[in-house]
Chain A
């Protein structure tokens, strides 16, 4: 009778492929093939009719077939983009993690926790474009006497000069990053909060009995225990930040020194129609993301091993 007991893992050879192939086909067509094609195009000239070396101008530096990468890695505007993306990573990742953790810890102690969390989380539901409009209104600057932007009106009320937040190179990147933090803190709060609630209360109680204060408890027990989760939040956030596009596109268009990699890629392709440069920039972008990707896959394998 052993034959009648179906081992669920052994059911025909073709059937499983019928289930996976539609999804696989779509992904091959829309992700894998274009990725390879992009790699190829990044070594071609601007309308991809010749090798990228054809773009070289006599008497000027030239990287031969890597000419597009010379632009993507050394041009002035791309260096600005790299600097800004780095700034975004540093400030937005730390901002969202710190605020997320703070709110996760503090809302845990209040009775209106669900409402407070919903408010912090709400910006996640709206588009970057919508958030861009909301904050452009907050940052609004007028050269006249009346400020309709909340921030400048507050500055004025306190006796300071109003600031043109989005065009002033000293502050405009920060102003954009604040929008990102506003949108994404809810995400890290939600995930960290779940991790916090997973810390066994017996451990905390035992530490309290031993006389540990709340501060020690937080740094010596809670933070180490949720460290893997913090690491996950950080990777996800780094990947998000590297891809940041909409906020910059809507609020400054990458002008006034706020350029980022993803926006430059869009402009090269759809404003200047330089296929070679645009694809080279996207290759640089994915290379920046690869370390995070490797980390993600490792994480997955570790979890698989623990199953």
Chain B
């Protein structure tokens, strides 16, 4: 073996670095992984066991093994007269109360459990749950996608959407066809609404910003620098400063609850940063390129359309990602100007969090539905995202 003390020394000295880096990564991922795992667990188990127990034996298995397995057998079939996998038998003891009453009753003149003590309430409840599982009365799978179905169609009932539809007992606002995806209470509809808000609210400010940034970097007009300095200042005006007047104005114009109102508002607030970033990018392009274009007799419009716009594509891409994520993830503007009329994802989730109507099984799935697209965009286009971030805060 090639024993190299220098190498071992290096590995050892680097070890703390690896531990800290990997430690932070785990710490950063763990909360999100917990939510992801939980969102695939059936609603029957999500509220009484942590997500990390997902691979552990089901509830009541250990209690059953210690209290019942010695007579009824590991699978519950050992005594033919009392087959614990028979739903008809188990149905008589749905809860700890009935189960314990029966366990305290003598069987053939002897205590039911023999030398084993009768289980306490909590253990009995766990055993009752376990019996329902092995008798197939209620045997939820380890993983399920029903939470996602329920969240998408806005199902808030006591079981699952599929089960209710199969039994024909679905709530009045659901029809068990693809139309349910458009149910105003569901995340499916909210997803479409969010897209409807986000796409125009991304394109519009980008377009206006490209025009303005071109003028700010390559055209001369009075007060150019003063205006641009003002623009830099506008970046920091908080949304809150404008909410009240704009909502009063929107109420008069009938724009409250409309997509148009939100598009315009996001455009107004996206512009200062967008222009700032675009100008920094356009302004850093070599002067000769523009000069020669004018020398060739090109007009402003041609230079803008044929030269500036194509050249600034990387900056536009960064900005588009920023604005898209900003609008997609926004809660405040959606809350104030859209509300429940055209609910978006963040609005629906915040409603589910604050009202008691939705359990963790719906909330976890809904949260992941809302995060899916931003995470894909981020992971796919990270390069542009980081570049935009750097250009905006520390000019290169």
Interface residues of A (CB under 8 A from B): 5-6, 8-13, 15-17, 19-20, 22-24, 26-27, 29-35, 37-38, 41, 99, 102-103, 106-107, 109-110, 116, 118-130, 132-138, 140, 145-150, 153, 182, 187, 190-191, 194-195, 229, 232-233, 236, 239, 242-243, 245-246, 249-251, 253, 262, 265-266, 269-270, 275, 278-279, 281-283, 285-286, 289, 292-293, 296-297, 300-301, 303-304
B321-359, CB < 8 A from A: 325, 328-332, 335-336, 345-346, 349-350, 353-354
A-contacting 9-mer, from B141-149, B218-226, B310-318: B218-226
B232 CB within 8 Å of chain A: yes
Which B-chain residue is minimally distant from A294 (CB atoms)?
Answer: B233
Instruction: Report yes or no: A292 in contact with B215, Cβ–Cβ below 8 A.
Output: no
Instruction: Report yes or no: B221 in contact with A17, Cβ–Cβ below 8 A.
Output: yes
B184 CB within 8 Å of chain A: no
Interface residues of B (CB under 8 A from A): 14, 17-18, 20-22, 24-25, 28-32, 34-35, 38, 46-52, 122, 208-209, 211-212, 214-216, 218-221, 225, 227, 229, 231-248, 264-265, 267-269, 271-272, 275, 287, 290-291, 294-295, 300, 304, 325, 328-332, 335-336, 345-346, 349-350, 353-354, 360, 363-364, 366-367, 370-371, 374-375, 377-379, 382, 386, 389-390, 393-395
Specify the main secondary structure of chain A where it touches its partner: helix
Instruction: Report yes or no: B28 in contact with A233, Cβ–Cβ below 8 A.
Output: no
Instruction: Report yes or no: A103 in contact with B367, Cβ–Cβ below 8 A.
Output: no
A229 CB → nearest B CB, Å: 6
Instruction: Report yes or no: B50 in contact with A229, Cβ–Cβ below 8 A.
Output: no
Instruction: Report yes or no: B220 in contact with A26, Cβ–Cβ below 8 A.
Output: no
B158 CB → nearest A CB, Å: 19
B362 CB → nearest A CB, Å: 11
List residues of chain B with CB within 8 A of the CB of A250: 331, 349-350, 353-354
List residues of chain A with CB within 8 A of the CB of B236: 239, 289, 292-293, 296
Which A-chain residue is minimally distant from B47 (CB atoms)?
Answer: A148
8 Å CB contact of A125 from B18, B218, B336, B377: B377
List residues of chain B with CB within 8 A of the CB of A26: 208, 264, 267-268, 271
Instruction: Report yes or no: A16 in contact with B219, Cβ–Cβ below 8 A.
Output: yes
Instruction: Report yes or no: B49 in contact with A146, Cβ–Cβ below 8 A.
Output: yes
How far does the alpha carbon of A123 sit from the alpha carbon of B330 in the complex, in Å?
14
Instruction: Report yes or no: B238 in contact with A122, Cβ–Cβ below 8 A.
Output: no
How far does the alpha carbon of A120 sit from the alpha carbon of B300 in the complex, in Å?
44
8 Å CB contact of B244 from A6, A41, A242, A300: A41
How far does the alpha carbon of A9 sit from the alpha carbon of B283 in the complex, in Å?
13
What 16 new A-B contacts, CB under 8 Å, besides A132-B353, A146-B49, A250-B331? A16-B215, A29-B268, A34-B244, A127-B328, A127-B330, A127-B345, A129-B350, A134-B367, A137-B360, A138-B34, A182-B28, A242-B238, A246-B331, A266-B332, A289-B238, A297-B233
Instruction: Report yes or no: B237 in contact with A35, Cβ–Cβ below 8 A.
Output: yes
8 Å CB contact of B30 from A147, A150, A233: A150
A19-B212, A23-B271 as given contacts; A249 in contact with B350, CB under 8 Å: yes
Which A-chain residue is minimally distant from B20 (CB atoms)?
Answer: A106
List residues of chain B with CB within 8 A of the CB of A118: 379, 382
A71 CB → nearest B CB, Å: 15
How far does the alpha carbon of A145 sit from the alpha carbon of B393 in the complex, in Å?
49
Instruction: Report yes or no: A20 in contact with B227, Cβ–Cβ below 8 A.
Output: yes
A189 CB → nearest B CB, Å: 10
How far does the alpha carbon of A233 sit from the alpha carbon of B389 in the complex, in Å?
11
Which B-chain residue is minimally distant from A194 (CB atoms)?
Answer: B390
A34-B246, A116-B25, A134-B35 as given contacts; A191 in contact with B393, CB under 8 Å: yes
